[in-house]
Structure 1
Amino acid sequence: MPVVAFPGAPSPASNGHSGATVADAVAHFLDSLGAATTRTSYARTLAQLTAVTGPHHPVAALQPEHYAAVMTGWDTAAAATWNRHLSALVSFTTWAQRQDLLATNPARRLQRRKTTRRGDRTIPQARLEALFTDDRHAVRERVLWRLLYETAARAEEILSLNVEDLDPEFRRARVVSKGGAIEYVHWATGTARLLPRLLQGRIAGPLFLADRRAPTSGRRAPAAADICPLTRRGRLSYPRAEYLFKTAAAELDPHGEGWTLHQLRHSALTHLAAAGRTAPELQAKSRHQNLASLGHYVRLGEETSARITAEHDPAARRRTR
């Protein structure tokens, strides 16, 4: 396997207090990632690592205590969330070791958490439609939710869209999928009707913008590509978008917890499967690499169970005299 040279990397003989800093290594590691969605996801975790150690801390001096401090922020999070952030640290560690920046494994004391299988995660279509058509919610949110559902795309892919990636004539958008491949996702009438209200004449920059103008300097200043050239507002972040959706959905969720952005993708594919779409058709829509990954959706869910029960209820089929 070829080894990518790291500018300024210390030799194996270097001591633990010289060579690349954590901030430099994180920046080079993120630059080495081909998929924008992966880069965005890992950046959140590694920003916390930089905050814990300080930007000038040597990579060679990273210790298990540093990684443990990073993961403390997700101690109360779901197992899947914990595992996602741990995967970012492990990937960074593996890369740093290949560059001879790190001789040890600071993640060695951390373990993946066992995820419990949840029940049906599909959101009923009637509740989704009520959410999508509720004028109390901002146009930005309603476009995002509809776009996620109608395209069945990953949330990171849609939040990474720029206005230039849209092709309104054919109701499609160009996304960078897992692995860095360029693919197209397609939306329907609901999104097509709302999209012009969101754009308001914008022809470039992030499709979904944050509420405030982006800082122009400092640690929190975003990259130029993540700032709208017209409004100077930054790109809407995944955590903020997730929070807004869960808050809005809590009113319709019988459990009062709200739903996640990923459940929009899950629900879209499950609804298509319930409507009789085949596994290859679902694969074309979802862009899964492996048909086996579609088992969650082909298995259908609560809505199908309720419909079958109602249709085969002998008492319900009796005619009243």
Structure 2
Amino acid sequence: MLTVSVVVPAWNEEERIADCILNATTQSVAPLEVLVVDNHSTDRTAQIVRDFIDAHPDTPVRLLHQDAEQGLIPTRNFGLDQARGQVLGRIDADCMLRPNWVQVVGSLFERDPQAMGATGPVAYYDMPGKEIGLKGDNRVRRSVYRADDGQYLLFGSNMALRSSAWSAIRGEVCRDKADIMHEDVDVSLHLIDHGFKTVYCKEMNAGISARRMDTSFASFRRYMQRFKNTFDAHPRHTREQKPERTLYALYPVLRTFYPVYQKYLESADINPAERVWIKEQMELFHRRDQEVG
């Protein structure tokens, strides 16, 4: 199977970074490395990663610092440039990978030599109904997140690139200093520019926070405007479907329910990121115990 690096850009993510790297290292097939790229965090993000490395010296976690420039894109680029895997996973610092994520991703790229980018559905772990949400997200992403002749758009919280594809586009991806575009869509369109194939895999699952919904409508609208801004910056590319329409429809319900559910989680002392893949993790531990036995 191809080797997989997992790159995690991080800025002030002390609440979730330990859960993120624990999920990334608790895998049916171990990643080659997990690179946490700290970008001038002012909280305890970097120290938490150092503490994790000290407590788990056998795990392939590395802490990198991108201090030259503030921003997700230069931090992401720095991590992808440093990664050594044949496949480069890219997730967010609040992302929780399913325990078979590395195995699914590595096998996917090995089976399909033409695949240069891959993405899959996500579940919102800090909202109820994970399984229903995952199925719904799968339906939306595989049908709506497309460009041009049906090429899949990658989703930044759950995506992977072949290292050779990143080498081909790394000097072309937009820097977006105005911070008005979706950087994952930008990467997708640059892959398509090269004629590279992007694929969608429903088994490539990750959990993410719904915290984006806990913002004012004005902020949410600016975030949705990024879809149009990104395609406006790449006029050669077109799209038939607009995913922001689906997200606009979901916003009122999620915006209302999200803070209520967070109060429930807090009162019940539940860490939703810790329990999102608990059934799958227990199955993995059970299999390993049987193998050892």
**Structure 1 length as normaliser, TM-score?**
0.22
Higher helix share: 1
Higher strand share: 2
**Structure 2 length as normaliser, TM-score?**
0.23
- Flag the structure with larger Rg: 1
